[in-house]
Structure 1
Amino acid sequence: MPGSTWASWRNSGPSSGDRIDAPFDGAEDLLQAWTAGLTPDPDLTVSAWADRHRILSLRGANEAGPWRTSRTPYLQELMDALSPRHPAQRVVFMKGSQLGASESGCNWIGYVIHHAPGPMLAVQPSVELAKRFSQQRIDPLIEESPSLREKVAPARSRDSGNTVLSKEFPGGILVLTGANSAVGLRSMPVRYLFLDEVDAYPPSADDEGDPVALAEARTRTFSWRRKVFLASTPTIKGLSRIEREYEASDQRRFFVPCPHCGESQSMTFERLRWQKGQPETAAYVCEACERPIAEHHKTMMLEKGEWRPTAVPVDPLSIGFHLSSLYSPVGWLSWERVAREWELCQSSDEAKRSFINTVLGETWAETGEAPDWLRLYERREDWRIGTVPPGGLFLTAGADVQKDRIEVSVWAWGRGLESWLIDHLVIDGGPGEAATWTRLSVLLGETWPHASGVRLGVARLGIDSGYEAPAVYAWARRQGWGQVLPIKGAEGFNRSAPVSGPTHVDATEGGVRIRRGARLWTVAVATFKSETYRFLRSAAPTGDDPIDRYPAGFIHLPRQVDAEWVKQLVAEQLVTVKTKRGFSRLEWQKLRERNEVLDCRVYARAAAWIAGADRWPERKWRELEAQVAFDTGDEETTATESNAGEKSPTAGKLAAAPRRGRRVFHSSYVS
């Protein structure tokens, strides 16, 4: 075999730190990898490797320099469970923020590259996040740690095997992908699998199934030698993947001693006490001696802490760790800041949910009970239906297609997603009748008078494609994709991105495939239903001057809507059901047969999200306010552009010509 380096390496046998400098042909490289694979796993643990070799970069860490496990003692046992000789095959970490979880995963990756090479797959919620993780975490990991620079060639070298989503090293390869890519999840067998932020994964990867299950199927080849690490901040109770995995484990919690009495305890938020309005007085109160513990004692408490199982695992090879941000080291997330964030989030369920998830590391229990329809009916307000009150700045509509009619709700939206029902229309006729779609097309040209005197048209119309999808796609193509948005409902909750797309789907018209198909938006309808119920529970201001004092998201209903319409708005409830595998999940179920009003609201809300209302900067809202602040008295349509050149979602729909002729719609819900 050519090359003295290869011969000396072969005769002496490989060691964990050896590097092969001589160039080899394919057969020699294969023999090298095969021989390294037969080498026993090293005794060195992941935490010991990190203390010896890991250098933190300013690009990805707030404390640059050599890694010190003593800074975060609670991570030692977790990282060591990822070492090849530890018996656990699945390691679960349900956690809050500011705890070093991502760096633990990076330490494991570095350990695999350096000491226990093999095929490894790291999965982020999306391919884009995988690229970002590679650039912000993996590249600094390799560049700043000399022992890893020797193993992974620089990306700029020719045929280095080092790309954004793939890092080759002697005896193994690290592949990074997104949970939204089925191709990436089934690309190769792997021994090591790192599933990061699993609660942010989509319900299905390219409609091919659960991304966690697809990824874990890649480890079957390695049987008992495999190692799977699942880490995530939890989300919604009954839907959280990380909660389900943690509950199947031995459910370990970190017990720390009281500096006063020595009693060991797992810290809970209920024991953090402070004077109302004075978060700087926050202290932890011992559950045994009831004495307050100051923040500066935390370092000693963490050093003497220990993990204790609290349950019998369903899977004996699965161990689980739960940690809240109360354990965050001194200088990272203080108890004072935790107390301050809790006080700030009291006015918003959404902010409170974020606190429960990201600070406490616990799941949020959705309140799925339907709001009282009678209370909503009694709080209707005095403005004429078919007109837009002063706070409304742009309109969207939601259309629900039934076999004998299409129902449409038109909603006005203002700052903070405050909304007003402007109209509810019923178009008689099924989707198979051309006249039905003609009438719906007329609606797109309708305008409604604003309190300022201008007239507003529908900026976006979201239409359900679940019934007679080909007819919906055909009509949407004729109208153009800018204003009309075909929608497909998706199961599950997705708070970070409740709408995805658009994607081109196959569609036929008269049996002929249409090039590129239809543009379809996928909507997590459960997310918007929960949001709607949360907004409906908001209390109206009690003062004499309610202007600008309605809570964000408040839903206004005009006096003309009848009881049937209101009942349909709250026609479903969120319930917990058991799957065939015995797991719990949340599901929206009907309380009554008719629920078209709620569906129309969800589609109109999705249209507002697609228009960008959830992400607009302040200047965009000021621009919309300026557009409705005056009446030009002109029958010509006006269109304005934003400062950035981006077309406003209401451009061409503001000062439009008056309505022409008799309307072709009717609704039995409004008078």
Structure 2
Amino acid sequence: MTRNISPETRAAIQRLLRKRAELAGAIDRMTLSAWAEEHFELDADSSHKVGAWVCWSFQVGLMDWMSDDRVERVNIKKSKRVGYTKILTALICYYVEHLRRKVALWQPTDDDRDSYVRTELEPVLDLVDAVSASRRKGGALDTLKLKQFIGAVLHLLGGKAARAYRRITVALAILDEWSAFDQSIEGQGDPGSLAFGRLEGAPFPKFVGGSTPGTRGACHVTLACEQSHVDMRYHIVCPHCGVEHPLLTGIAPDGTRTKAGLQWQPGKPETVVHICPHCLEPITQSQYLVGGEPMQGTWVCIRTGIRYLGAGRWTDAAGDEIRPPRIVGAQIWSAYSPQRTWSSIAEDHERAASAAEAGDNSLMITLVNETYGEAWEVIGQRRDEHALERQANKHRLSIVPVGALVLTAGIDVQQDRIEIGVWGWARGLESWVIDHHIIEGNPSVDEDLWTNAALYLQRRYRQAWHGGTLGIESISIDSGYATHAVYNFVRQHAGILNIRAIKGDDDVKMPVKGPAKAVEVNWRGQRWPNGVKLWHIGTQAAEDLLHGQLGVEKPGPGYLHYAEGLPTEWYAQLTGKTRVPVRSNRGVVDRWIRMRKRVEVRDCRRYAHHAAECMGLSGYTAEHWRQLEERVQPPQDLFSEPIVIAVEDDASLIPTAAPVVPAAPAVPMPARLNPGRAAGRIQPRPFGG
């Protein structure tokens, strides 16, 4: 029944429940850090220390965010030995005893779940008096999968199967060792999204995901931290200059050592100190550990300067108090822990570096992930954007060079724009970049964006061969974002443009041109059953083929030609993915993953290639290509004049009238677009902007 209520009604119910909780005194309560120091205890079987819990200084902030109802998501990228597992166990006890709320914790596998319950959770549930008093122990409902308490319940689940994320509703969802989960859970979605979905309807939904990182690009927790509203680091105050800074590893992204951070004399790890990045004076571990405990510090966002002052108080970079961020990301690593000596970190680094020089990176990967708390950067199978940028045989952008015979386009749809990549093709799928164009606007609501797109896709491109023009003959547009807006655009323009909606398929067996099926178009209150065909594109196959083409070094079949004037960002986006091993429900498999946030150029190229496949270009015979060459670029004779293409405004080749389409009451199309406005809206936006 609740599935049919409107979003407004659902929001009103949640506000009512929140208000009720406030009136009941749920807001005026202890923080997790304060509750843990009063109630939580460590057992001898799973801890080096036994007895009452004492928070290390850097743990207080982590625990406060987990218990602050104003913070909806907490993403923790961490190393080993920072007490994270104990914090999670304390969080569970706090929720079921102090807040009386339902909890679910997922581990990567059932075996991981069983190990955690037996070695970490069960001893504490009996040891902590406040929890054991509220526990309903014994019986059929007290198992490795389920624990019941007065007013609360705890679900303990393995995260391999999609069914583990169904049929439960909780107030707190926890993913432990998040980066060890499969990339997608049986094709149903990533584990973070599936776990967060179990919070729907909770007055104070809370998601906590933490992990030692894995491989960059395929690491759930690293991606979550990068997308958080803040990305926090724990800053200490230098005893020499009095300026605050985080503890640094002393390793640059390229693997070289830096001036600041942990430093030691080669072969003498016992000489390790931390060099302050401001005054370059050494700080010893004994100076950092005051009375055996980490010195007091402050959590600061590395992107915005937002600070956490403690006791639920946040300030912006100017020092003005603000509301807590809704999504908090943070990183903490082993050097902060009093249980890890800096000299042992230096020893491990020297051992790993020695093995890496001999060709074995396994120790270095473990060091980076589990000690430094960073994702491992895999070079993998990736092309160098700088090498491609230096590649010769460049032609003018927006001019069809000699050799290119057919034009196709691929369109990528983003939240605030669409991007159009136009490519020219010849024998053996030799290709030329003709154009890359950005039209700004919200695809979900902006009708002008789609009008401008239709006009732009009808433009004609000058040919360098004889001064004639070529139009775009086949178009593929991704439907992953603003899906029904894309469907409606394809439905309206299928009779004018050879355009199709596409959807990526990650199955390694799916070809570039996969099957198509009819889908319903649902646009602004109107429905068109079987309104358009949706084509599947084999993502992995297309990426493999593009990777091979990027490695072709001489003009000919498969070779890519690059236009002059393309910025470095264009090349970075074209090469912004790499193939690495990732976890899946079929075990460890190779997958193409993005190494940077922006890869729209690469996506547009794949979609343009799909458009070429839909024309059958890869199956053209030599005779087909000969006939096409004679028609598009006929041989010049002795009397032919050399063609000089003048530098002109390319917008003159764009139609100024809106395309004639069947009337659609749901989306009225203007009879004519204002030329001045069109020129303003379709100017290319800088790459990476």
Q: Deviations over 1:366-387 (max 9, x none)?
A: 1135699xxxxxxxxxxxxxxx
Secondary structure class of the residue paired with 1:245: helix
Matches within 5 A, 1:169-180: 169-180=149-160
Q: How far does the alpha carbon of each residue in 1:487-527 deviate from its partner, in whole angstroms, 9 at most, with x for none? A: xx999999999686xxxxxxxxxxxxxxxxxxxx544124x
> CA separation in 2, counterparts of 1:230 and 1:181?
18
Match of 1:139 among 98, 108, 122: 122
- Work out the CA distance in 2 between the residues paired with 1:167 and 1:494: 42
Report the secondary structure of 1:212's partner residue: helix
- What residue in structure 2 maps to residue 359 of structure 1? 371
Check if 1:50 corresponds to 2:40.
no
The answer as to whether partners of 2:352 and 2:364 remain within 8 angstroms in 1 is yes
Contact 1:200–1:496 (8 Å) recurs in 2: no
Please state if 1:158 is matched with 2:139: yes
1:82 equivalenced with 2:66 (yes/no):
yes
Contact 2:213–2:374 at 8 Å: present in 1 too? Answer: yes
**Residue 128 of structure 1, CA deviation:** 1.5
Contact 2:578 2:594 in 1 (8 A): no
- What letter is aligned with 1:145? V
Pick from 99, 106, 119 the counterpart of residue 116 of structure 1: 99
* Equivalent-residue separation in structure 2 for 1:40 and 1:97 (angstroms): 33
The CA deviation at 1:207 is: 3.0
Counterpart Cα distance in 2 of 1:111 and 1:304:
25
2:264 is paired with a residue whose SS is strand
CA distance in 2, matches of 1:583, 1:140: 52
1:233 equivalent among 199, 204, 212: 212
Contact 2:69 2:206 in 1 (8 A): no
**Residue 318 of structure 1 aligns with which residue?**
327
SS of alignment partner, residue 184 of structure 1: helix
TM-superposed CA distance for 1:302, in Å, is 2.9
Moved more, 287-296 or 354-363: 287-296
Which stretches in structure 2 are left out of the alignment for 5+ residues? Answer: 1-19, 251-260, 307-323, 385-506, 512-539, 544-576, 610-689
Q: Partner amino acid for 2:153? A: I
Shift of 1:96: 1.3
Change (3 A) 1:88 1:303: same
Identify the match of residue 101 of structure 1 among 84, 91, 100: 84
Distance in structure 2 (CA, Å) of the matches to 1:582 and 1:119: 45
- Out of 295, 299, 311, the position equivalent to 1:307 is 299
Deviation per CA, 1:180-232, whole angstroms, max 9, x where unpaired?
A: 12112112111111111111111222332222111111112115x11111111
Contact map agreement 1:42 1:115 (CA 8 A) in 2: no
Query: Segments of 4+ in structure 1 off by > 4 A?
Result: 34-39, 369-372, 489-500, 577-584
Distance 1:325 1:35 in 2: 39
- AA aligned to 1:163 is T
| Corresponding position of 2:263 | 273
How many angstroms does 1:117 deviate by? Answer: 0.9
Structure 1 CA distance, aligned partners of 2:579 and 2:366? Answer: 13
| 1:244 aligned residue (223, 227, 249) | 223
Deviation, 1:233, is: 1.2
Give, as a single letter, the amino acid of the residue that structure 1 aligns with 2:272.
A
SS at match of 1:97: coil
**What aligned pairs does 1:283-302 form with structure 2 within 5 A after superposition?**
283-300=273-290, 302=294
Deviations 1:81-128 (A, max 9, x none): 122x44111111111111011111111111112110111111111122
CA deviation vs aligned residue, 1:416-451 (integer Å, no higher than 9, x gap): xxxxxxxxxxxxxxxxxxxxxxxxxxxxxxxxxxxx
Alpha-carbon distance, 1:362 to partner: 1.2
For the structure 1 residues 524 and 114, does the alpha-carbon distance in structure 2 shift closer, same or farther, using more than 3 Å as the test? same
The 2-side partners of 1:127 and 1:144 are apart by 25
Separation in 2 of the partners of 1:90 and 1:121? Answer: 15
Structure 1 residue 363 displacement after superposition: 1.4
CA distance in 2 between counterparts of 1:336 and 1:152 reads 44
Instruction: Provide the rounded CA distance (Å) in 1 between the counterparts of 2:161 and 2:27.
Output: 32
Pick aligned residue for 2:178 from 170, 194, 198: 198
| Partner residue, 1:431 | none
- 1:344 is aligned, of 335, 348, 351, to 351
TM-score using structure 2 length: 0.49
Residue identity matched to 2:45: R
Q: TM-score, normalised by structure 1?
A: 0.50
Partners of 2:94 and 2:57 lie apart in 1 by 18
Cα distance change of structure 1 residues 350 and 222 upon mapping to structure 2, 3 Å threshold: same
Cα distance, 1:236 vs. partner?
A: 1.7
Aligned length: 369
> Residues 55 and 583 of structure 1: is their aligned pair in 2 closer, same or farther, counting only changes over 3 Å?
farther
Tell me the equivalent position of 1:282: 272
> What amino acid does structure 2 have at the position aligned with 1:299?
L
- How far 1:356 sits from its partner (Å)? 1.2
CA distance in 2, matches of 1:144, 1:302: 27
Identity of aligned residues (%): 25
- Assess if the C-alpha contact under 8 Å between 1:338 and 1:359 holds in 2: yes
Alignment-mate amino acid for residue 336 of structure 2? Y
Report the Cα distance in structure 2 between the residues aligned to 1:229 and 1:253, rounded to whole angstroms: 17
In the alignment, residue 293 of structure 1 is paired with which amino acid? Answer: I
Counterparts of 2:383 and 2:597, CA distance in 1: 24
- Counterparts in 2 of 1:430-449, with a 5 A limit? none
Shift in CA distance, 43/310, structure 1 to aligned 2, threshold 3 Å: same
SS at match of 2:273: strand
Given that 1:284 and 1:294 are in contact with CA atoms closer than 8 Å, whether structure 2 keeps it comes out as: yes
CA distance in 1, matches of 2:227, 2:181: 19
Q: SS of the counterpart of 1:251? A: strand
Return closer, same or farther for 1:582/1:183 CA change in 2, 3 Å cut-off.
Answer: farther
Counterpart in the other structure of 1:188: 168
Query: Structure 1 residues 345, 203: CA separation in 2 closer, same or farther (over 3 Å shift)?
Result: same
> In the alignment, residue 344 of structure 1 is paired with which amino acid?
R
Q: Does the CA contact (< 8 Å) of 2:213 and 2:219 recur in 1?
A: yes
SS of the residue 1:261 aligns to: coil
Give 1:28's aligned residue.
none
Q: Give CA deviations for 1:504-560 in whole Å, capped at 9, x if unaligned.
A: xxxxxxxxxxxxxxxxx544124xxxxxxxxxxxxxxxxxxxxxxxxxxxxxxxxxx
CA contact (8 A) 2:104 2:155 kept: yes
Q: Tell me if structure 2 keeps the 8 A contact 1:151–1:170.
A: yes
In the TM superposition, what is the alpha-carbon distance from 1:48 to its structure 2 partner? Answer: 0.7
2:95/2:102 contact within 8 Å kept: no
Shift of residue 173, structure 1, vs aligned partner = 0.4
Distance 1:119 1:266, change over 3 A: same
Report the Cα offset of residue 325 of structure 1. Answer: 1.1
**More off after superposition, 333-342 vs 349-358:** 349-358
Contact 2:182 2:583 in 1 (8 A): no
Measured in 1, the distance between the counterparts of 2:224 and 2:583 equals 24
Q: Distance in 1 between matches of 2:602 and 2:238?
A: 37
SS of 1:222 mapped into structure 2:
coil
Distance across 1 between alignment mates of 2:177 and 2:601: 23
Output the CA distance in 2 between the equivalents of 1:209 and 1:175: 20
Do the aligned partners of residues 165 and 357 (structure 1) sit closer, same or farther apart at CA in structure 2, a change above 3 Å counting? Answer: same
Where do 1:553-632 residues align within 5 Å?
576=595
**SS of the residue 1:163 aligns to:** coil
